[in-house]
Amino acid sequence: MGGLTEAKLRELAGERSFERGLGYVDEVSGIEFGDGWIRASVRGTQRYEVELALGGRRRPTGTCDCPYGQEGNFCKHLVALGLTVIAQNADLPRLRESARARSRSLDTWLSGLSRDELLSVVGEEIAEDRQLRRRLELRAASARGDLAGVRSRVRDLLDIGPFAQYGYVEYGDARAYADQARQAASAVRSLTASGRSVDAMTLAREAIGLLAGVVENVDDSDGWLGQIGTSLADTHHDACRAAHPDPEDLAHWLVTHALDDAADLTDIDPLDYEDLLGERGMITLRQFAVEAWKANRTGWAEKHLMQRLARSGRDVDTVIAVYVADLAPNGHTHFLIARELDTAGRPAEALEWAERGIRGTEDLATVDTTLVDDLADRYTKASRLADAVTLRRDHFVACRSLLTYQQLRAAARAAGCWPPEREQALDLLRVDAGGKGAQRGPVLVDALLDDKDIDAAWQAATSSGAHDGQWLTLTDLARPTRPADALAVYLRLAARLTHETGNHAYEQLVSLLLSVRDCHHRLGTPDDFTTYVTDLRAAQKRKRNLMRLMEEHGL
């Protein structure tokens, strides 16, 4: 049995897939035994076809058409089949021999039929099995060299009509449609194998267009159509390699496709065809790309294609020209241009573009902070510390936050001018604190806390107000030196929490009570704390989880 054991299955699938596979053993049906392989159906989200290959001394392998299995993984459905096979280990030789006997019997019977009898059997099967009929029709058309016939059948196979309700293929029918579409892709691929690569190339392009035209009307949650699109893209590439199409015609199609919605379905990269296009084709490809971009300079697909081609040719000026045609008002595009110039070894121009991005931004409060950070770093590396301070100061003035304050502080300390810069910055934050204040409390308090200036932070919070979170941080820091002031804040915060329920609120309250106890300890008034906790327990006694938490912490 190819060394198939539960331990081997666990090794092949991994712990998670193995454990999940245990729950699918009862969903295995239709087991077929062959010489070295075992096939079955396993019902999961839908019915999947699985196959185990048991090759003597070789490592067992398996395939499954579920999404996880399609990625090459040994999935839970394969585990379920493997466990079923292990359970039938004693009967496996008999089952295999029975399968061989059935196969020999079928071959003998078919060989004994006359031509007319065989045609009659095939006709009956075709009448019963629509999929078989379509596969045979495709093979017949291909064998006859009937391009029109193959094209017609491919169109039929890619038509969503038989599967769609109100023009949309629901998830439950998507698998069946994908199976049919996969037959179309296989038929196109077979043309190259039979020496008809030009026809394969033509039909692959048509099939890609047809599939792209319906993909938005199919619930492709499992990604089947994406896989078929990739298969058609590979078929097209292989056909082109065999057919040697006209380079200019190929270049035109590649550009048209790259700018079409179908590009997302196939992910075809025009540069993958560079060896087929040759010098003439690449020149044409770039010409078509430039024309398309000039017609729509802000189009994402056009810009992406232009940048891709320009980078491949190390044409940084063209890349920059594409960016310049659609500059973002917040300076982000300037940052991208500067990065391209850095890569090209042109740092002076990169600096110029970064500065231009800052100058061109009407409101520094909306500027891309990546650009600010980038330019400040450039100034620092160039020992232009005063310029770095000016940049950080201007950004802080426009966008007064703890982060911009910290960035200004770092730049000013590096330049040796932090004390005067700090006073100017704090003056602005004091003006802000005198207004309505930020939702999370005045930035002034946060800045002073970040400076470790506890007394100034306390004064600012007292005079201008502060958010509860700021008060808690401030009080925790001030408790060793101002226990009485800290106690008043803790009691106020605790009083609010006594009106809330839920474990999170209880945990916060217990943390505050521990701080209250520490304050009383520092003040030498432990009896006052005992009285406070006794009264609190009496008032909150119905909150059992709170009582339990208090007991755990000795409160």
Tens digits of per-residue pLDDT, 333-355?
999 999 999 999 999 999 999 99
CA angle, residues 71, 74, 75, in degrees to nearest 5: 85
Helix (H) or strand (E) holding 53: strand 47-53
Identify whether 20 is part of a domain.
yes
Instruction: Write out the DSSP string of 27-46.
Output: GEEEEEE-SSEEEEEEESSS
Structural domain including 66 reads 6-112
Identify whether 143 is part of a domain.
yes
Q: Is the pLDDT of residue 549 over 80?
A: yes
- Going by pLDDT thresholds of 50, 70 and 90, the confidence category of residue 123 is confident
Global pTM reads: 0.61
Identify whether 138 is part of a domain.
yes
Tokens 């500067």 correspond to what residue? 338
| Token code pair at residue 425 | 């910055």
| Cα 488 to Cα 555: distance, rounded to the nearest angstrom | 19
Buried b (16+ CB within 10 A) or exposed e, 329-356: ebbbbbbbbbebbbebeeeebbbebbbe
- Going by pLDDT thresholds of 50, 70 and 90, the confidence category of residue 184 is confident
Identify whether 359 is part of a domain.
no
46 and 144 housed in the same domain: no
146 and 223 housed in the same domain: yes
Identify whether 543 is part of a domain.
yes
52 and 30 housed in the same domain: yes
Radius of gyration of the chain (CA): 36
Of all residues in the chain, the percent with pLDDT exceeding 90 is 56
76 and 138 housed in the same domain: no
> Sheet containing 37-43: which strands, arranged edge to edge?
28-33, 37-43, 47-53, 61-64
Average pLDDT of the residues in 480-503: 93
Of 81, 112, 143, the residue at which a domain comes to its end is 112
Identify whether 366 is part of a domain.
no
Is residue 497 within 8 A of residue 505, CB to CB? The reply is yes
- The pLDDT score that the predictor gives to residue 56 is 57
Of 67, 87, 112, the residue at which a domain comes to its end is 112
Query: How many domains does the chain divide into?
Result: 3
Other C-beta atoms closer than 10 Å to the C-beta of 481 total 12
| Token code pair at residue 114 | 């006359």
140 and 197 housed in the same domain: yes
Identify whether 439 is part of a domain.
no
| Cα 6 to Cα 367: distance, rounded to the nearest angstrom | 59
130 and 235 housed in the same domain: yes
Q: Helices 274-295 and 300-312 sit at what angle, rounded to 10 degrees? A: 140
Average pLDDT of the residues in 111-115: 89
108 and 160 housed in the same domain: no
Identify whether 67 is part of a domain.
yes
Average pLDDT of the residues in 374-397: 96
Between these two residues, 91 and 234, which has the higher pLDDT value?
Answer: 234
20 and 85 housed in the same domain: yes
Q: Tell me the CB-side half-sphere exposure of residue 451, using CA atoms within 13 A.
A: 24
